[in-house]
Amino acid sequence: MSIRRSFGLVGAVSLALVLAGCGGSSSDDGADASGKGKTRVFTADNGKITIPADPKRVVATGYAVPVMIEADAPLVGISSWQRGEPMMTKDDLATYKKLPKVAGEQAAETNYEAVAEAEPDLIVIGVPAPVLGDIDIKRLESIAPVVAIGPTVPSAWRELSRKQADAAGALTKFAAAKKTYEAKAAELAKKYKDVLPQLELGHVGAYGDAAKGTFQREFDGSWGPNIANDIGAKYYGKVKKSGSGSASVSEYPSIEELPDAFGKADALTYSVNADGSVPKPVQYVLDSKLWKNLPAVKAGKTFPLRYTEAATYGEALKTLDAIDESLAPLLKR
Q: What is the pLDDT of residue 130?
A: 84
Of 141, 176, 211, the residue at which a domain comes to its end is 176
Specify whether 10 is located in the same domain as 154: yes
Specify whether 255 is located in the same domain as 196: yes
Which residues make beta-bridge pairs with 203? 218, 269
What percent of the chain shows pLDDT beyond 70? Answer: 89
Specify whether 223 is located in the same domain as 258: yes
Of 176, 205, 222, the residue at which a domain comes to its end is 176
Bridge pairing between strands 250-251 and 267-271: unpaired
Specify whether 148 is located in the same domain as 100: yes
Q: Is residue 103 part of a domain?
A: yes
Read off the pLDDT band of 128 (50, 70, 90): confident
CATH of the domain at 240: 3.40.50.1980
Rg over CA atoms, the chain: 21
Q: What is the pLDDT of residue 129?
A: 83
Query: What's the domain range around 66?
Result: 3-176
55 touches 74 (CB < 8 A) = yes
Whether 34 shows a pLDDT value over 50: the answer reads no
Specify whether 311 is located in the same domain as 261: yes
Specify whether 218 is located in the same domain as 296: yes
Specify whether 172 is located in the same domain as 27: yes
H helices of the chain, in order, are 3-6, 12-20, 64-70, 90-98, 112-117, 137-141, 157-167, 171-191, 226-229, 258-262, 280-286, 289-292, 295-298, 313-327
- Nearest-angstrom CA–CA distance, 180 and 141: 36
Specify whether 53 is located in the same domain as 159: yes
Q: Is residue 225 part of a domain?
A: yes
Q: Is residue 321 part of a domain?
A: yes
Q: Is residue 181 part of a domain?
A: no
Report the pLDDT averaged over residues 21-26. 45
Specify whether 168 is located in the same domain as 306: no
Specify whether 165 is located in the same domain as 80: yes
pTM across the whole model: 0.88
Q: Is residue 184 part of a domain?
A: no
Q: Is residue 271 part of a domain?
A: yes
- DSSP 8-class letter at 121: S
CB proximity list for 16: less than 8 A, separation 6 or greater: none
Q: What is the pLDDT of residue 16?
A: 34
Of 176, 200, 221, the residue at which a domain comes to its end is 176
Q: Is residue 202 part of a domain?
A: yes
285 touches 204 (CB < 8 A) = yes
292-328 pLDDT, tens digit per residue, is: 999 999 999 999 999 999 999 999 999 999 999 999 9
Whether 168 shows a pLDDT value over 70: the answer reads yes
- Sheet of 58-62: strand order equals 101-103, 75-79, 58-62, 122-126, 146-148
Specify whether 114 is located in the same domain as 241: no
Q: What is the pLDDT of residue 19?
A: 33
252 touches 278 (CB < 8 A) = no
214-244 pLDDT, tens digit per residue, is: 999 999 999 999 999 999 999 999 999 999 8
Specify whether 22 is located in the same domain as 151: yes
- Nearest-angstrom CA–CA distance, 227 and 155: 8
Whether 30 shows a pLDDT value over 70: the answer reads no
Which residues make beta-bridge pairs with 123? 59, 146
Number of domains in the chain: 2
Sign of torsion, CA 161 164 167 173?
negative
Q: Is residue 185 part of a domain?
A: no
Whether 12 shows a pLDDT value over 50: the answer reads no
